Amino acid sequence: MTGASRGIGAAIARALAADGWPVGVGYRSARERAEEVVAAVERDGGRAVALAGDVAADGVAERLLEELEERFDRPVLALINNAGINRDELAPALDDARWREVIETDLNAAFRLTRRALRGMLRARAGRIVNISSVVALRANAGQANYAAAKAGLIAMTKTVAVEVARRGITVNAVAPGWIETEMTAGVSSELLAAIPARRVGTPADVAAAVRFLVSDEAGYITGAVLSVDGGLAA
């Protein structure tokens, strides 16, 4: 999974490793934290390897998957597109660079990884792709036109790819987290909290549980779906 050195990604990595998956912990620059996730997984008896790369850069998606395939000597059968950045700004002031960066990392990279991962999954006649979208793809949040566009794009991509490959036993789903306690959301206001039906922010573990389920064998008939993990925010 990408963006796994911290936050939701790290929690997902640990949850899947606990289910027996050998895990690729993708990170861009936080090497120590990625290595910490690997160490934590190994302490718990699982297998993991840290994989460095900026998913937005050319060729990185392909390289990451190849490295992972080589490391555990098998095709990658589960891909979690979690790497995400935000560059918030109201639309009139949102410049091209900020727009582009977010679309590249949050949407385009997910597509490239998906395209590459499907090669192995198609041959294996099995696979799980989970795209981490966001509540803001479903319910507007001012200041995030770029992020929301990318996250909503992920949902449409999820559904389209899902129907293309469903006959091969590959499921493709999206998880749409609401406000989750991570570095990306540090400093959430009390007004926001009051707007959340569950009256609390979510935890990375809340999201990891949903991903874990979608990746499991039992979820084999669920594909093209969007699972909100947001305490009722998008309802």
Partner 1 sequence: MATVTTEQVQARVIEALASFGPDESQITPEATFEQLDIDSLDLVELAQIVEDEYGVVLKGEDMKELETVGDAVQLIVSRASA
Which residues of the chain form contacts with partner 1 (CB under 8 A)?
119, 122-123, 164-165, 167-168
Q: How far is the CB of 122 from partner 1 (least distance, A)?
A: 5
**Which burial class, exposed, middle or buried, applies to 92 when counting CB atoms under 10 A from its CB (0-12, 13-18, 19+)?**
exposed
Catalytic residue positions? 147
d(CA 147, CA 3) in angstroms, rounded, equals 16
Retrieve residue 33's tokens. Answer: 């934290």
Q: How far is the CB of 165 from partner 1 (least distance, A)?
A: 7
Cβ proximity to partner 1: between 119 and 139 the closer is 119
d(CA 72, CA 189) in angstroms, rounded, equals 43
Cβ proximity to partner 1: between 122 and 193 the closer is 122
Residue whose pair of structure tokens reads 């509540």 in the numeric block: 135
Q: How far is the CB of 119 from partner 1 (least distance, A)?
A: 6
Cβ proximity to partner 1: between 103 and 122 the closer is 122
Closest CA to 85 of 102, 99, 98, 100: 102
Cβ proximity to partner 1: between 19 and 164 the closer is 164
In the DSSP assignment, the letter for residue 208 is: H
Task: Report the 10 Å Cβ neighbour count for 3.
Answer: 28
Retrieve residue 100's tokens. Answer: 């582009």
**Which burial class, exposed, middle or buried, applies to 183 when counting CB atoms under 10 A from its CB (0-12, 13-18, 19+)?**
exposed
